[in-house]
Structure 1
Amino acid sequence: MENSSATRPLSQKVIGILGGMSNQATGEYYRMLNERLNQEYGAWDNGEIVIVSVNFGNIEYFVRRNQWDEARAYLAEKIDRLERAGADVIGCVSNTMHRVVAPIMAGRTTPFIHIADSTGEVIQKAGITRVGLLGTIATMQSDELRAHLKERFGIEVLAPSDADQKVVDRIIFDELVRRDLRAASKAEYLRVAAALRAEGAQGVILGCTEIFLLIGQSDLPGFPVFDTTALHVGALASFALS
């Protein structure tokens, strides 16, 4: 049914997506944002979205070699493109790359929605103070992320053992970014989540934007699962609708 009450063209805020990290996550952001916005607008309306998608091969190279300055320079130029395209808000589809994107955006005027904020707010609202974290090794070992969640939301982060971190990281880079979803890998992730729960975690953060493709809340009944992809999409959509 047509939204006849809308003045055309419909005035909307433009969502800027820094994507390509990976293309699988980026495609899901685009799909989920449009579905969420259509739920609010109705009829045939969805979002106005600008995507700058980077070469994941460059990102993988920088992350594996801890070349964060090079990654920052590379992504700063891509953010320039988003701003020139008229983005009213910017979101980065990668938990890992917030390490460099957040400092870049701190020096800019375009609103930026940090994926840890959209996640931390929901965890805090759930009354959880100790949470496990799955993600890339760079994310699971991130002092910046731990400090961010602790200082802003009072949340303590538990990471898997060193051996389990390698397993989680390998599955992300070798499988999930290619949408290669394996039952054996799902079992490994559930095992790691159970180990975190045994150590006192009250829930688990899916701290890589592809992990939700493999596991979700239905796989861990009674153990809260915080999907950073869905929570980030929700925050971006809310901003666009505000």
Structure 2
Amino acid sequence: MKTLGILGGMSWESTISYYKLLNEGVRDALGGLHSCRVVMHSVDFAPFADQMGKNDWKSVTAGLIEGAKSVEAGGADALIIATNTMHKVADEIQSAVNIPLLHMADAIAGGAKKTGSSKLGLLGTAFTMEQDFLSRPLKEKYGLDVIIPDSEKRSMVHCSIFDELCCGKILDKTRAGYVKIIEDMAAQGAEAIVLGCTEIGLLVKPDDVSVPLIDTVQAHVELALDYVL
């Protein structure tokens, strides 16, 4: 078994899900007392969130590169960034280390293949929805179309991520808002919805909606397990 490096803590609420699913996956594959070999660098998210709000991506990148180098030095054979938004600087992080970065776009594409979907609705932070660091590789590498909600709905999703989900607040009212947005995107032709923030899967479950969901935590874990096993 190879050793997986994780950049986590963004937020730790979803990093817990990564750790649990990785270990369950290895146990299911190998049986007995087997668990996933992991080296984790878990950040203090508050300074990163502040830097993102100030559009100071240079500082964000420097902090993540420090973490990536630390897991590489700790013996990791590959690296995952346990958050969608920070894939904005995935290329810079990959350039700074000598181990492969298992990219979220490849994980999402795997989920799209499983659901037989070619047109995806994307939810996440404003950075993830409005910039192309995920939608572009999905289009260019896999031929997948991506749609996003309108500006008012994007604002609701973005604020709920930072004000609620990253703080462990799971509210029925917010879930109802997400369900409405998801059903609207399905009506616009989305064949599956990408939960493109690793906390959204804590709020919205497959039984809540009529369209398939691609939970990026689950999809990313499956990609990582394929590598380490």
Q: TM-score range by the shorter chain?
A: over 0.9
SS at match of 1:144: coil
Partners of 1:69 and 1:141 in 2: CA distance: 19
Tell me what 2:100 maps to.
111
Counterpart code for 1:229: V
Counterpart code for 2:217: T
SS at match of 1:143: coil
Deviations 1:53-111 (A, max 9, x none): 01110221122122111211111111111111010111011100011133321453201
Q: Does the CA contact (< 8 Å) of 1:121 and 1:153 recur in 2?
A: no
Tell me what 1:179 maps to.
168
Partners of 2:63 and 2:96 in 1: CA distance: 16
Counterpart code for 2:42: S
User: Could you tell me which of 212, 219, 224 is aligned with 1:224?
Assistant: 212
What is the Cα-based RMSD across aligned positions, in Å? 1.2
Alignment of 1:14-33 (within 5 A): 14-33=3-22
User: Could you tell me which of 82, 85, 98 is aligned with 2:74?
Assistant: 85
Runs of 4+ in 1 over 2 A off after TM superposition: 106-109, 124-127
Tell me what 1:201 maps to.
190
Alignment of 1:161-180 (within 5 A): 161-180=150-169
- Tell whether 2:87 aligns with 1:98: yes
Tell me what 2:226 maps to.
238
Stretch moving more, 103-112 or 34-43:
103-112
Tell me what 1:4 maps to.
none
What are the ranges of 5 or more consecutive residues in structure 1 without an aligned counterpart? Answer: 1-11
Counterpart code for 1:236: A
Q: Does the CA contact (< 8 Å) of 1:15 and 1:88 recur in 2?
A: yes
Partners of 1:114 and 1:106 in 2: CA distance: 13
Alignment of 1:155-166 (within 5 A): 155-166=144-155
SS at match of 1:51: strand
TM-score by length of 1: 0.91
- Tell whether 2:29 aligns with 1:40: yes
Counterpart code for 1:217: P
User: Aligned-pair distance for 1:207?
Assistant: 0.1
Tell me what 2:132 maps to.
143
Partners of 1:34 and 1:127 in 2: CA distance: 27
Q: Does the CA contact (< 8 Å) of 2:129 and 2:148 recur in 1?
A: yes
Identity %: 35
Tell me what 1:211 maps to.
200
What are the ranges of 5 or more consecutive residues in structure 2 without an aligned counterpart? Answer: none
SS at match of 1:187: helix
User: Aligned-pair distance for 1:238?
Assistant: 1.5
Q: Does the CA contact (< 8 Å) of 1:134 and 1:168 recur in 2?
A: yes
Partners of 1:70 and 1:99 in 2: CA distance: 13
SS at match of 1:52: strand
Partners of 2:67 and 2:95 in 1: CA distance: 16
Deviations 1:194-214 (A, max 9, x none): 111122211110000010000
Q: Does the CA contact (< 8 Å) of 2:65 and 2:96 recur in 1?
A: no
Counterpart code for 1:148: P
TM-score by length of 2: 0.96
How many residue pairs get aligned? The number is: 229
Partners of 1:117 and 1:103 in 2: CA distance: 17
